[in-house]
Amino acid sequence: MNAPAVPPISTDVYVIPYEGAHLVYAPLRRLAFVANAAAVNTLAKLKAGVLDQPTADEAAFLEFAAAVRLTGSDGDAPIVGLNQPEFCPNEITLFLTADCNLRCVYCYARAGDTPASRMTLETARRGIDQVVANALALGLDWIGVNYHGGGEPTLNHEVLTASHAYARQQAERHGLKLHTAIATNGVLSPRGRRWIIENLDGASISLDGSPAVNDLNRPNRAGGGSGSLVMTTLREMDAAGFAYSLRVTVSAQTVQSMVETVTYILDETHPRRIQIEPVYDIGRGADAGLHVDADAFIGGFRRCRALANSRGVDLAFSSARIEVVTNRFCRAYGEGFSLTPAGAVTGCYEVYDQDADFADDVIFGRYDEAADAYIFDPKKLGALRDHTVEKQSWCDGCFARWHCAGDCPNKVRHASVNGEFCGTPSCQITRALVQDQIITKIEADGGLIWMGAVDTAVETSDASAPVSEQQ
C-alpha cells in the first residue's frame, strides 16, 4: 500500500540555534517551535525532496508539521508592500528648516553646522495642495501633514503655524480629516509647547535619558544641557494628556545608563511608546566615534524591555517587529512625499537637502513653476519603489528578513561597500531581539508552539507613532 503523499514545504522556514536545540521559525506561517536535530533534519529532507519513505517516527512528526501548517501550500501571511499602485501620496512631510537649537553629538543631518535654510509658506502650501488633490482623486477622506528635520521644525514657527492653519482650512473646505504630527527635540518655548498641544495630534520627541544622561548626547548650541527643558515639555504634555512617543538614542557614553534611562522615563513621563536606537554612523555620528557595542545594546535593551513591560509600556527597536510582515523597512522609499526646505521632493527623512548623501538618487522631484505642478523623475522614483528586501541578497538567509525588511535603506547604503551590503551591527541587534520576540510568543502561547495571526500594517506616520528617523 502506498504511503499517503507528504505535503511539501512551500514557505520560508528558518532554523535558529537555541540553547542546544533548534528554534524552527516560519515567519510567513506565523509559526515557531523548538525542535531537536532529528526533527529539523526530517524537515530538511522533506524540503530537499528526499523523504520518499518516512519512518514511522518521521511520519508522525510530519503529521504534526501538517497540522500546524508548516507543510502544505496554504497559509502564508501576505507580505505588505506599498499602499498604492501609483505614486499618489495623501500625506506630506515638511522639513521646515535646517537650523537647530541643539548640537546633538550624533545628528545625521549635522543640523546647525551650515547656514540655515528655511522653508517658505508658499513651498509648504504647494505641498499641501498636492496631497489634498491626491486624496480627492483617490477618494480618500484624510490628509496627513507632518513636520520633521534635519533641523528643529519649531524654529520656523511662522511657517509651522501658518502651514498648519492652511492645511486645516483646506481639509475643512474639502471635507477631509487632517492628521498632523511633529518630530521635535522638545526644547520649546512656552508658546511652542502650547501650540503643539493645542493643534497637533501627536509628537515624537527625542530624549536620551535623565537630564544628566541626555545632556551627554544632546547639548544645546552653547554647549549647555537640554534635558531639563525637554522634561518641562513632557510634563506639560502629560498634564494635557497629549499623545507623544519618545525616541531614545544610545551612544557609547550612555549605553551603561540604558536601564537608568528607561526607569527615569517610566517614572517621570507617560509616552505612548518608547523607541530605542543606537547611534548610527551617519553625519556627526560617523565622526563622533560613539557607536555602541551591539552586545551591550542588546543586553541593555532586554533589561529595559522587562522594565517597560512591567509598566505596560511598549518598547521598540525599529527593525525588530515580529508583528509586521513586509518587504519594505518603511514606505518613505517609494511613497514618501517629503519636501526639503528648498522645496525639493525627497524619498527619505535622512536625505534632507541637496547636499545630503545619496541626494542624487533619493531626491526625485521638484515643483515646476512653468507647469505649475510637481514633476517627478520616473527613473529615480521607480528605483525607490522597487527597493525591497528581495533585492538585498545579503538578507536572503536571515530569519528576520520579513520583519526588518533589509533595514533602513539610507543606513544600508552608508554601510555598503561598492554598493554591496554586507551586514551591520544592527543586524545582530535585530536578530537577537526578533528571536526574543519569537520566544516570548511561544511562551505566551503556552510554552510549546506559537501559531499566531499577523498585523500586516507597515508602520505609518500616524499621529501617535514615532517618526522613526528623528535623531
Q: Does position 327 bind another protein by CB under 8 A?
A: no
Q: Does position 390 bind another protein by CB under 8 A?
A: no
Q: Least CB distance from residue 67 to another protein, whole Å?
A: 6
Distance in angstroms (rounded) separating the CA atoms of residues 8 and 29: 14
Q: Which is nearer to another protein, 58 or 281 (CB)?
A: 58
Q: Considering CB under 8 A, how many residues would be counted as binding another protein?
A: 91
**Choices 109-117, 124-132, 303-311, 382-390; region in contact with another protein by CB under 8 A:** 303-311
Q: Which is nearer to another protein, 115 or 312 (CB)?
A: 312
Q: Which is nearer to another protein, 79 or 133 (CB)?
A: 79
18 to 57, contacts with another protein by CB under 8 A? 18-22, 24, 33-45, 47, 55-57
Facing residues of 179 across strands?
Answer: 144
**Choices 62-70, 91-99, 112-120, 367-375; region in contact with another protein by CB under 8 A:** 62-70
Q: Which is nearer to another protein, 260 or 459 (CB)?
A: 260
177 to 196, contacts with another protein by CB under 8 A? none
Q: Does position 254 bind another protein by CB under 8 A?
A: no
399 to 438, contacts with another protein by CB under 8 A? 399, 422-428, 431-432, 435-436
Q: Least CB distance from residue 190 to another protein, whole Å?
A: 12
Window 451-470: contact mask with another protein (x via CB under 8 A)? xxx-----------------
**Choices 146-154, 184-192, 236-244, 362-370; region in contact with another protein by CB under 8 A:** 236-244
Residue among 73, 169, 189, 256 that touches another protein (CB under 8 A): 256
Q: Which is nearer to another protein, 7 or 382 (CB)?
A: 7
Residue among 358, 394, 416, 459 that touches another protein (CB under 8 A): 394
Residue among 63, 113, 172, 360 that touches another protein (CB under 8 A): 63
Q: Least CB distance from residue 331 to another protein, whole Å?
A: 25
Q: Which is nearer to another protein, 74 or 113 (CB)?
A: 74
Residue among 126, 235, 366, 380 that touches another protein (CB under 8 A): 235
Q: Does position 446 bind another protein by CB under 8 A?
A: yes
**Choices 13-21, 175-183, 192-200, 382-390; region in contact with another protein by CB under 8 A:** 13-21
Distance in angstroms (rounded) separating the CA atoms of residues 64 and 46: 14
268 to 287, contacts with another protein by CB under 8 A? 270
